[in-house]
Amino acid sequence: MPALKFSRDVAEATDHVYEKIKASVPRFEWEMHAPLVAEINRLKKIHNAIILGHNYMVSEVFHGVSDYTGDSLGLSKVARSADAELIIFCGVHFMAETAKILNPDSTVLIPDLDAGCSLSESITPEDVRLLKDRYPGVPVVTYMNTPASIKAESDVCCTSANAVSVVNSLGEERVIFIPDEYLARNVAKETDVEVIAWHGRCMVHEQFSVDEIRSYREQYPGIEVIAHPECSPEVCDEADFVGSTSGMIGHLDRAESNRVIMVTECSMSDNVQEAHPDLEFVKPCTICPHMKKITLEKTLASLENFEHEVLVPEETRIRALRAVERMISIGRDTNN
């Protein structure tokens, strides 16, 4: 196809998007993105496709082409009920797998098959089976940030938002919690259940330290620190608020300071800036290299050529679905 160029038609089709992100994307840079945004949005209509954009996507993907945005579970629920023939998941691989688990009849694509996750890759199905052998009868609670093969070995899944509720709902004296060590330790602080943790960590959230948080407080007096529970317990103790990505976004409406720092992947601050123009975001430059593999160029190629389909073997899908559905059922029962 001919090279895409910025034109008056492209500007008319995309200027409303630029208004949302102009605080973080220079105009000259936007004029390189805009033709891709216009073409992707045109092709979505032709192919009856929807694009799901995670909170950690770059702004031009998040605001420019995503039909639905949010955290991994929220987007998977959208995928579950979507009547689109084609779902393109702009996130990492385990998220696209979860969408396929919940909506097996739709074609699910990911713009880059190598968009992985240090946390989801920190454990194998063999590791889970060994844990179950070592602790017979102890239920396995698995964080959603895992591949289908790990969910299939689990009793129930959880998110960072509902992990404590899920653990407490089981009525057990102890549980195996995989794979995030820090999230497990943060959950253990809020429950009387003994939590047996694995040693996986998120390569983004483990970078933050107490000294770094304190240095931000010294540099920006009065700043409100909002942290994700994949950070270490020590960092979470230092924060003013701890919550999932959706919880962090919700907290911004109740922020007690007009200056905040979101202790998580740095693109998230850019993506929520438009909805909170009165807040000053101090942005730590901590990026996820896997999330940043998802670009407009790759999204367009995936949409044009139906590239990088995500498949889950049916036996694995059914077993993983049970663990996810059990979590959803617990959520209904607890109103969480």
Question: What domains are defined for the chain?
Answer: 8-115+291-305 (3.40.50.10800), 120-200+313-334 (3.40.50.10800), 205-282 (3.40.50.10800)
- Is 50 exceeded by the pLDDT of residue 159? yes
| Amino acid letter, residue 65 | V
The answer, yes or no, to whether residue 12 has pLDDT greater than 70, is: yes
3-state secondary structure of 123: coil
Yes or no: say if 85 and 49 are a contact pair by the CB < 8 Å rule: yes
Please state the φ and ψ torsions of residue 225, each to the nearest 5 degrees: -100, 120
Average pLDDT, the chain: 94
> In the chain, pLDDT over 70 holds for what percent of residues?
98
Which residue in this structure is represented by tokens 């993506």? Answer: 271
**DSSP letter, residue 122:** G
d(CA 13, CA 31): 12
d(CA 102, CA 245): 21
User: How far is the CA of 227 from the CAs of 40, 210, 248, 252, in angstroms?
Assistant: 34, 12, 8, 12
Mean pLDDT across 115-144: 97
The burial of 173, by beta-carbon neighbours within 10 Å (0-12 exposed, 13-18 middle, 19 or more buried), is given as exposed
Please give the residue that has the higher pLDDT: either 283 or 237. 237
Give the span between the Cα atoms of 305 and 189, in whole angstroms: 48
pLDDT tier at 334, thresholds 50, 70, 90: very low
- Both structure tokens of 19: 């208004």
- Write down the pLDDT at residue 31: 95
Among 29, 110, 24, which Cα is nearest to 309's?
110
Q: Is 209 exposed, middle or buried (0-12, 13-18, 19+ CB in 10 A)?
A: middle
The mean pLDDT of 101-117, rounded to a whole number, is 95
pLDDT for 333 beyond 70: no
Say which residue the tokens 């990492």 belong to. Answer: 92
Residues 239-257 have a mean pLDDT of 94
Phi, psi of 9 (to 5 degrees): -60, -40
Q: What is the DSSP string of 25-61?
A: S-HHHHHHHHHHHHHHHHHHHHHTEEEEEETTS-HHH
Neighbours of 159 (CB within 10 A): 23
**Is the predicted pLDDT of residue 2 greater than 60, yes or no?**
no
Token pair listed for 152 = 């299939």
